[in-house]
Structure 1
Amino acid sequence: MPSQIYGYVRVSTKEQNEDRQLIAMQNFGVKQSKIYMDKLSGKDFERPKYKRLMKKIKPGDTLVIKSIDRLGRNYEEILEQWRIITKEKQVGIVVLDMPLLDTRHKNDLTGTLIADIVLQLLSYVAETERINIRQRQAEGIAAAKARGVHLGRPRIDIPVEFYILKERYQSREITTREAAKILGISATTFLRWVDQDQS
Protein backbone atom coordinates (compact mmCIF):
# COMPACT_ATOMS: atom_id res chain seq x y z
CA MET A 1 0.00 0.00 0.00
CA PRO A 2 1.48 3.42 -0.98
CA SER A 3 2.38 5.88 1.78
CA GLN A 4 -0.39 8.21 2.91
CA ILE A 5 -0.50 11.85 4.00
CA TYR A 6 -2.61 12.55 7.10
CA GLY A 7 -3.48 15.81 8.79
CA TYR A 8 -4.23 16.46 12.44
CA VAL A 9 -6.20 19.46 13.69
CA ARG A 10 -6.84 20.29 17.35
CA VAL A 11 -8.92 23.19 18.66
CA SER A 12 -10.40 23.99 22.04
CA THR A 13 -14.12 24.63 22.25
CA LYS A 14 -13.29 28.28 23.04
CA GLU A 15 -11.10 29.03 20.00
CA GLN A 16 -13.09 28.16 16.91
CA ASN A 17 -10.20 28.48 14.47
CA GLU A 18 -10.28 25.07 12.84
CA ASP A 19 -10.94 26.70 9.44
CA ARG A 20 -7.45 28.21 9.41
CA GLN A 21 -5.89 24.82 10.15
CA LEU A 22 -8.12 22.96 7.67
CA ILE A 23 -7.36 25.43 4.85
CA ALA A 24 -3.61 25.07 5.51
CA MET A 25 -3.97 21.25 5.34
CA GLN A 26 -5.88 21.36 2.06
CA ASN A 27 -3.38 23.81 0.54
CA PHE A 28 -0.62 21.34 1.42
CA GLY A 29 -2.54 18.59 -0.38
CA VAL A 30 -4.03 16.61 2.51
CA LYS A 31 -7.34 15.04 1.44
CA GLN A 32 -10.38 15.95 3.53
CA SER A 33 -10.95 12.26 4.33
CA LYS A 34 -7.41 12.02 5.79
CA ILE A 35 -7.79 14.91 8.25
CA TYR A 36 -8.47 13.98 11.88
CA MET A 37 -9.83 16.68 14.20
CA ASP A 38 -10.28 16.89 17.97
CA LYS A 39 -12.34 19.64 19.59
CA LEU A 40 -11.60 19.84 23.30
CA SER A 41 -12.44 21.92 26.30
CA GLY A 42 -9.54 23.53 28.12
CA LYS A 43 -9.43 21.07 31.01
CA ASP A 44 -10.06 17.94 28.95
CA PHE A 45 -7.14 16.58 26.92
CA GLU A 46 -8.53 13.22 25.89
CA ARG A 47 -7.91 13.11 22.14
CA PRO A 48 -9.98 10.29 20.62
CA LYS A 49 -9.30 11.26 16.98
CA TYR A 50 -5.58 11.63 17.61
CA LYS A 51 -5.48 8.18 19.22
CA ARG A 52 -7.34 6.72 16.24
CA LEU A 53 -4.88 8.40 13.88
CA MET A 54 -1.91 6.96 15.79
CA LYS A 55 -3.33 3.45 15.25
CA LYS A 56 -3.87 4.15 11.55
CA ILE A 57 -0.52 5.61 10.47
CA LYS A 58 2.14 3.27 9.08
CA PRO A 59 5.90 3.59 8.52
CA GLY A 60 6.55 5.84 5.53
CA ASP A 61 3.35 7.87 6.00
CA THR A 62 3.44 11.64 6.63
CA LEU A 63 1.64 13.57 9.37
CA VAL A 64 0.92 17.25 8.72
CA ILE A 65 0.16 19.68 11.56
CA LYS A 66 -0.25 23.47 11.48
CA SER A 67 1.88 24.23 14.54
CA ILE A 68 4.01 22.25 16.96
CA ASP A 69 1.69 22.81 19.95
CA ARG A 70 -0.98 20.64 18.26
CA LEU A 71 1.05 17.64 19.47
CA GLY A 72 0.73 18.36 23.17
CA ARG A 73 0.05 20.75 26.02
CA ASN A 74 3.60 21.11 27.29
CA TYR A 75 7.28 20.65 26.49
CA GLU A 76 7.52 17.03 27.69
CA GLU A 77 4.34 15.94 25.92
CA ILE A 78 5.33 17.50 22.58
CA LEU A 79 8.78 15.87 22.66
CA GLU A 80 7.29 12.49 23.64
CA GLN A 81 4.75 12.56 20.79
CA TRP A 82 7.47 13.66 18.34
CA ARG A 83 9.64 10.70 19.44
CA ILE A 84 6.75 8.21 19.12
CA ILE A 85 5.79 9.44 15.65
CA THR A 86 9.27 9.79 14.14
CA LYS A 87 11.15 6.97 15.91
CA GLU A 88 8.57 4.32 16.89
CA LYS A 89 6.04 4.81 14.10
CA GLN A 90 8.71 5.89 11.56
CA VAL A 91 6.32 8.47 10.16
CA GLY A 92 7.45 11.80 8.71
CA ILE A 93 6.20 15.03 10.29
CA VAL A 94 5.60 18.34 8.52
CA VAL A 95 4.92 21.43 10.68
CA LEU A 96 3.41 24.02 8.34
CA ASP A 97 4.24 27.05 10.51
CA MET A 98 7.90 25.97 10.75
CA PRO A 99 9.40 24.65 7.48
CA LEU A 100 12.58 23.53 9.30
CA LEU A 101 10.45 20.93 11.11
CA ASP A 102 10.07 18.55 8.20
CA THR A 103 11.40 15.03 8.78
CA ARG A 104 10.30 13.48 5.48
CA HIS A 105 13.89 13.33 4.20
CA LYS A 106 14.92 10.49 6.49
CA ASN A 107 18.23 9.86 4.75
CA ASP A 108 19.29 13.46 5.30
CA LEU A 109 20.98 13.15 8.71
CA THR A 110 21.67 16.89 8.95
CA GLY A 111 18.02 17.69 8.22
CA THR A 112 16.82 15.28 10.92
CA LEU A 113 19.34 16.66 13.41
CA ILE A 114 18.30 20.27 12.71
CA ALA A 115 14.62 19.31 13.04
CA ASP A 116 15.28 17.69 16.44
CA ILE A 117 17.26 20.71 17.72
CA VAL A 118 14.67 23.22 16.47
CA LEU A 119 11.87 21.16 18.01
CA GLN A 120 13.56 21.07 21.43
CA LEU A 121 14.20 24.82 21.30
CA LEU A 122 10.65 25.68 20.19
CA SER A 123 9.05 23.39 22.77
CA TYR A 124 11.19 24.93 25.49
CA VAL A 125 10.31 28.48 24.41
CA ALA A 126 6.57 27.63 24.22
CA GLU A 127 6.63 26.05 27.69
CA THR A 128 8.58 28.98 29.17
CA GLU A 129 6.07 31.44 27.68
CA ARG A 130 3.16 29.47 29.18
CA ILE A 131 4.82 29.56 32.63
CA ASN A 132 5.48 33.31 32.25
CA ILE A 133 1.84 33.97 31.29
CA ARG A 134 0.61 32.08 34.38
CA GLN A 135 3.10 33.99 36.55
CA ARG A 136 2.02 37.36 35.08
CA GLN A 137 -1.65 36.47 35.70
CA ALA A 138 -0.92 35.52 39.33
CA GLU A 139 1.10 38.74 39.86
CA GLY A 140 -1.70 40.81 38.24
CA ILE A 141 -4.33 39.27 40.53
CA ALA A 142 -2.13 39.83 43.61
CA ALA A 143 -1.49 43.49 42.61
CA ALA A 144 -5.22 44.07 41.99
CA LYS A 145 -6.11 42.62 45.40
CA ALA A 146 -3.45 44.80 47.04
CA ARG A 147 -5.08 47.87 45.43
CA GLY A 148 -8.44 46.73 46.83
CA VAL A 149 -9.88 45.80 43.44
CA HIS A 150 -12.71 43.28 43.88
CA LEU A 151 -12.22 40.32 41.56
CA GLY A 152 -15.03 38.02 40.57
CA ARG A 153 -18.72 38.81 40.18
CA PRO A 154 -19.66 42.40 41.04
CA ARG A 155 -21.88 42.71 44.12
CA ILE A 156 -25.44 43.85 43.41
CA ASP A 157 -26.49 47.05 45.19
CA ILE A 158 -29.58 46.50 47.33
CA PRO A 159 -32.48 48.45 45.75
CA VAL A 160 -34.90 50.60 47.78
CA GLU A 161 -37.82 48.27 46.95
CA PHE A 162 -36.08 45.53 48.92
CA TYR A 163 -36.84 47.18 52.27
CA ILE A 164 -40.58 47.37 51.51
CA LEU A 165 -40.62 43.74 50.33
CA LYS A 166 -38.61 42.66 53.38
CA GLU A 167 -41.29 44.06 55.68
CA ARG A 168 -44.02 42.32 53.67
CA TYR A 169 -42.00 39.08 53.77
CA GLN A 170 -41.45 39.33 57.54
CA SER A 171 -45.16 40.01 58.13
CA ARG A 172 -45.83 36.92 55.96
CA GLU A 173 -47.72 38.78 53.24
CA ILE A 174 -45.43 37.35 50.56
CA THR A 175 -43.04 34.39 50.27
CA THR A 176 -39.27 34.48 49.72
CA ARG A 177 -39.77 33.35 46.12
CA GLU A 178 -42.37 36.06 45.39
CA ALA A 179 -40.17 38.79 46.85
CA ALA A 180 -37.14 37.54 44.89
CA LYS A 181 -39.17 37.40 41.65
CA ILE A 182 -40.29 41.05 42.03
CA LEU A 183 -36.68 42.14 42.57
CA GLY A 184 -35.36 39.92 39.74
CA ILE A 185 -32.94 38.06 41.99
CA SER A 186 -32.67 34.53 43.38
CA ALA A 187 -34.41 33.53 46.61
CA THR A 188 -30.95 32.82 48.10
CA THR A 189 -29.82 36.39 47.39
CA PHE A 190 -33.02 37.80 48.90
CA LEU A 191 -32.47 35.83 52.13
CA ARG A 192 -28.82 36.91 52.24
CA TRP A 193 -29.90 40.55 51.97
CA VAL A 194 -32.41 40.01 54.79
CA ASP A 195 -29.62 38.58 56.99
CA GLN A 196 -27.24 41.43 56.06
CA ASP A 197 -29.85 44.05 56.88
CA GLN A 198 -30.40 42.56 60.30
CA SER A 199 -26.72 42.28 61.19
Structure 2
Amino acid sequence: MARTYGYARVSTREQNLDRQMDALREFGVAREDIFADKASGKDFERPQWIAMKEALEQGDVLVVKSIDRFGRSYEEIIEQWRDITKVRGAAVVVLDMPLLDTRRERDGITGVLIGDIVLQLLSYVAQVERESIHQRQAEGIAAAKARGVKFGRPKKRRPGTYKSTRKAYLDGHITRSEAASRLKVSISTFDKWLREDRAKGASE
Protein backbone atom coordinates (compact mmCIF):
# COMPACT_ATOMS: atom_id res chain seq x y z
CA MET A 1 0.00 0.00 0.00
CA ALA A 2 1.32 3.46 -0.97
CA ARG A 3 2.59 5.61 1.87
CA THR A 4 3.08 9.33 2.31
CA TYR A 5 6.45 10.44 3.66
CA GLY A 6 7.62 13.87 4.76
CA TYR A 7 11.07 15.40 4.67
CA ALA A 8 12.24 18.40 6.71
CA ARG A 9 15.63 20.07 6.94
CA VAL A 10 17.35 22.95 8.70
CA SER A 11 20.97 23.94 8.16
CA THR A 12 22.18 24.06 11.78
CA ARG A 13 21.40 22.37 15.08
CA GLU A 14 20.33 25.71 16.52
CA GLN A 15 17.50 26.09 13.99
CA ASN A 16 14.03 24.73 14.70
CA LEU A 17 12.19 22.10 12.65
CA ASP A 18 8.78 22.72 14.27
CA ARG A 19 7.27 24.87 11.51
CA GLN A 20 8.09 22.30 8.84
CA MET A 21 6.96 19.39 11.01
CA ASP A 22 3.62 21.09 11.74
CA ALA A 23 3.03 21.72 8.02
CA LEU A 24 3.80 18.10 7.16
CA ARG A 25 1.52 16.72 9.89
CA GLU A 26 -1.25 19.12 8.82
CA PHE A 27 -0.97 17.68 5.32
CA GLY A 28 -1.52 14.25 6.82
CA VAL A 29 1.96 12.78 7.13
CA ALA A 30 2.28 10.52 10.16
CA ARG A 31 5.03 11.51 12.62
CA GLU A 32 6.80 8.18 12.16
CA ASP A 33 6.94 8.79 8.40
CA ILE A 34 8.74 12.13 8.64
CA PHE A 35 12.48 12.19 8.03
CA ALA A 36 14.38 15.25 9.30
CA ASP A 37 17.99 16.38 8.93
CA LYS A 38 19.90 19.15 10.65
CA ALA A 39 22.48 19.56 7.93
CA SER A 40 23.65 21.91 5.20
CA GLY A 41 21.86 21.86 1.86
CA LYS A 42 25.13 21.92 -0.09
CA ASP A 43 24.69 18.28 -1.13
CA PHE A 44 22.47 15.25 -0.53
CA GLU A 45 24.86 13.24 1.65
CA ARG A 46 22.49 13.50 4.64
CA PRO A 47 21.54 10.50 6.81
CA GLN A 48 17.78 11.07 6.91
CA TRP A 49 17.56 12.03 3.24
CA ILE A 50 19.33 8.79 2.31
CA ALA A 51 17.07 6.79 4.64
CA MET A 52 13.99 8.44 3.13
CA LYS A 53 15.12 7.61 -0.40
CA GLU A 54 15.63 3.98 0.60
CA ALA A 55 12.11 3.84 2.03
CA LEU A 56 10.39 5.29 -1.06
CA GLU A 57 8.58 2.80 -3.28
CA GLN A 58 6.44 2.95 -6.40
CA GLY A 59 3.29 4.99 -5.78
CA ASP A 60 4.51 6.63 -2.55
CA VAL A 61 4.33 10.39 -2.02
CA LEU A 62 7.10 12.62 -0.67
CA VAL A 63 6.01 15.92 0.90
CA VAL A 64 8.27 18.89 1.68
CA LYS A 65 7.30 22.36 2.88
CA SER A 66 9.41 24.25 0.32
CA ILE A 67 11.73 23.37 -2.53
CA ASP A 68 14.81 24.71 -0.73
CA ARG A 69 14.38 21.98 1.92
CA PHE A 70 15.74 19.66 -0.76
CA GLY A 71 18.96 21.66 -0.98
CA ARG A 72 20.71 24.70 -2.46
CA SER A 73 21.83 23.41 -5.85
CA TYR A 74 19.01 23.31 -8.39
CA GLU A 75 21.08 21.07 -10.66
CA GLU A 76 21.24 18.47 -7.89
CA ILE A 77 17.59 19.07 -6.93
CA ILE A 78 16.54 18.29 -10.50
CA GLU A 79 18.66 15.13 -10.46
CA GLN A 80 17.09 13.97 -7.17
CA TRP A 81 13.60 14.99 -8.36
CA ARG A 82 13.94 12.87 -11.50
CA ASP A 83 15.26 9.93 -9.51
CA ILE A 84 12.26 10.07 -7.18
CA THR A 85 9.57 10.66 -9.82
CA LYS A 86 10.96 8.81 -12.85
CA VAL A 87 13.15 6.03 -11.44
CA ARG A 88 11.41 5.23 -8.15
CA GLY A 89 7.94 6.09 -9.42
CA ALA A 90 6.99 8.17 -6.38
CA ALA A 91 5.29 11.57 -6.38
CA VAL A 92 6.54 14.84 -4.90
CA VAL A 93 4.42 17.55 -3.27
CA VAL A 94 5.93 20.97 -2.38
CA LEU A 95 3.48 22.66 0.01
CA ASP A 96 4.63 26.24 -0.58
CA MET A 97 4.38 25.84 -4.36
CA PRO A 98 1.20 24.00 -5.47
CA LEU A 99 2.43 23.73 -9.07
CA LEU A 100 5.16 21.40 -7.80
CA ASP A 101 2.77 18.50 -7.18
CA THR A 102 3.31 15.43 -9.33
CA ARG A 103 0.58 13.19 -7.91
CA ARG A 104 -0.93 11.49 -10.96
CA GLU A 105 -4.38 11.18 -9.41
CA ARG A 106 -4.51 14.97 -9.13
CA ASP A 107 -3.87 16.09 -12.73
CA GLY A 108 -2.74 12.94 -14.50
CA ILE A 109 0.40 13.22 -16.61
CA THR A 110 -0.13 17.01 -16.74
CA GLY A 111 0.85 17.31 -13.09
CA VAL A 112 4.18 15.60 -13.76
CA LEU A 113 4.83 17.77 -16.82
CA ILE A 114 4.01 21.03 -15.02
CA GLY A 115 6.20 20.03 -12.09
CA ASP A 116 9.14 19.39 -14.42
CA ILE A 117 8.65 22.70 -16.25
CA VAL A 118 8.40 24.70 -13.01
CA LEU A 119 11.50 23.03 -11.60
CA GLN A 120 13.47 23.76 -14.77
CA LEU A 121 12.32 27.38 -14.61
CA LEU A 122 13.39 27.68 -10.97
CA SER A 123 16.77 26.20 -11.88
CA TYR A 124 17.20 28.75 -14.68
CA VAL A 125 16.25 31.68 -12.42
CA ALA A 126 18.66 30.45 -9.71
CA GLN A 127 21.48 30.13 -12.25
CA VAL A 128 20.85 33.62 -13.65
CA GLU A 129 20.81 35.04 -10.11
CA ARG A 130 24.13 33.33 -9.27
CA GLU A 131 25.73 34.70 -12.44
CA SER A 132 24.32 38.16 -11.68
CA ILE A 133 25.74 38.06 -8.14
CA HIS A 134 29.17 37.02 -9.44
CA GLN A 135 29.08 39.77 -12.07
CA ARG A 136 28.14 42.41 -9.49
CA GLN A 137 30.93 41.18 -7.20
CA ALA A 138 33.48 41.34 -10.03
CA GLU A 139 32.33 44.82 -11.05
CA GLY A 140 32.46 45.99 -7.42
CA ILE A 141 35.99 44.64 -6.95
CA ALA A 142 37.16 46.23 -10.21
CA ALA A 143 35.66 49.59 -9.22
CA ALA A 144 37.25 49.41 -5.76
CA LYS A 145 40.66 48.55 -7.23
CA ALA A 146 40.33 51.53 -9.60
CA ARG A 147 39.84 53.73 -6.53
CA GLY A 148 43.00 52.32 -4.99
CA VAL A 149 41.36 49.96 -2.51
CA LYS A 150 43.66 47.06 -1.66
CA PHE A 151 42.28 43.59 -0.92
CA GLY A 152 43.65 40.85 1.26
CA ARG A 153 45.19 40.90 4.68
CA PRO A 154 47.78 43.65 5.22
CA LYS A 155 51.36 42.39 5.36
CA LYS A 156 52.61 42.11 8.92
CA ARG A 157 55.42 44.55 9.56
CA ARG A 158 58.59 43.37 11.24
CA PRO A 159 59.25 44.97 14.63
CA GLY A 160 62.41 46.98 15.24
CA THR A 161 63.91 44.13 17.27
CA TYR A 162 63.63 41.65 14.38
CA LYS A 163 67.24 41.84 13.18
CA SER A 164 68.75 41.32 16.62
CA THR A 165 66.29 38.52 17.41
CA ARG A 166 66.99 36.87 14.06
CA LYS A 167 70.73 37.00 14.72
CA ALA A 168 70.29 35.53 18.20
CA TYR A 169 68.28 32.67 16.68
CA LEU A 170 70.76 32.01 13.86
CA ASP A 171 73.63 32.09 16.35
CA GLY A 172 71.86 29.41 18.38
CA HIS A 173 71.27 31.54 21.46
CA ILE A 174 67.47 31.22 21.38
CA THR A 175 64.96 28.79 19.91
CA ARG A 176 62.46 29.51 17.16
CA SER A 177 59.70 29.55 19.75
CA GLU A 178 61.60 32.05 21.90
CA ALA A 179 62.31 34.23 18.87
CA ALA A 180 58.65 34.28 17.86
CA SER A 181 57.68 35.06 21.45
CA ARG A 182 60.08 37.99 21.62
CA LEU A 183 58.69 39.40 18.38
CA LYS A 184 55.08 38.68 19.49
CA VAL A 185 54.28 36.77 16.31
CA SER A 186 53.49 33.17 15.50
CA ILE A 187 56.29 30.71 14.71
CA SER A 188 54.92 30.40 11.15
CA THR A 189 55.24 34.17 10.68
CA PHE A 190 58.82 34.11 11.99
CA ASP A 191 59.62 31.20 9.63
CA LYS A 192 58.09 33.14 6.73
CA TRP A 193 60.32 36.13 7.47
CA LEU A 194 63.37 33.87 7.58
CA ARG A 195 62.45 32.36 4.20
CA GLU A 196 62.01 35.83 2.70
CA ASP A 197 65.42 36.83 4.04
CA ARG A 198 67.05 33.74 2.52
CA ALA A 199 65.33 34.44 -0.80
CA LYS A 200 66.69 37.98 -0.78
CA GLY A 201 70.14 36.78 0.29
CA ALA A 202 70.03 38.88 3.46
CA SER A 203 73.23 38.93 5.45
CA GLU A 204 73.25 38.08 9.09
Quote how far apart the aligned CAs of 1:124 are. 1.3
Aligned to 2:86: 87
Shift in Å at residue 145 of structure 1? 4.9
2-structure distance, mates of 1:132, 1:68:
21
Corresponding residue SS for 1:122: helix
User: What does residue range 124-135 of structure 1 map to in structure 2 within 5 Å?
Assistant: 124-135=124-135
User: What residue identity is the alignment partner of 2:36?
Assistant: Y
Q: Give 3-state SS (helix, strand or coil) of 1:9's partner.
A: strand
Q: For residues 14 and 126 of structure 2, what CA distance do their matches in structure 1 show? A: 19
Tell me the residue number matched to 2:66.
67
CA deviation after TM superposition for structure 1 residue 125, in Å: 0.7
Rate the CA distance shift 1:122–1:16 in 2: closer, same or farther, 3 A: farther
* Corresponding residue number in structure 1 for 2:168: 168
- Give the aligned partner of residue 193 of structure 1: 193
Q: In structure 2, how many angstroms separate the alpha carbons of the residues matched to 1:116 and 1:156?
A: 54
Unaligned runs of 5+ in 2: none
Alignment match, 1:181: 181
Secondary structure class of the residue paired with 1:198 = coil
Moved more, 149-158 or 123-132: 149-158
* CA displacement at 1:141 relative to structure 2: 4.3
Partner of residue 56, structure 2: 57
Contact kept? 2:6, 2:34, Cα under 8 Å: yes
TM-score (norm. length: structure 1): 0.73
**Mind listing any 5+ residue stretches in structure 1 that lack a counterpart?**
none
Cα distance in 2 between the residues matched to 1:177 and 1:152:
27
Following superposition, which runs of at least 4 residues in structure 1 exceed 6 angstroms of deviation?
Answer: none
Q: Distance in 1 between matches of 2:186 and 2:160?
A: 17
Do residues 23 (structure 1) and 19 (structure 2) align?
yes
Distance 1:40 1:27, change over 3 A: closer
Contact 1:71-1:77 at 8 Å conserved across structures: no
Amino acid at match of 1:99: P
The Cα offsets for residues 115-139 of structure 1, whole Å up to 9 and x where unpaired, read as 3322221121112212332343344
Identity %: 47
Q: What residue identity is the alignment partner of 1:83?
A: R
CA deviation after TM superposition for structure 1 residue 60, in Å: 3.2
Using the size of structure 2 for normalisation, the TM-score is 0.71
Deviation at 1:179, TM superposition (A): 0.9
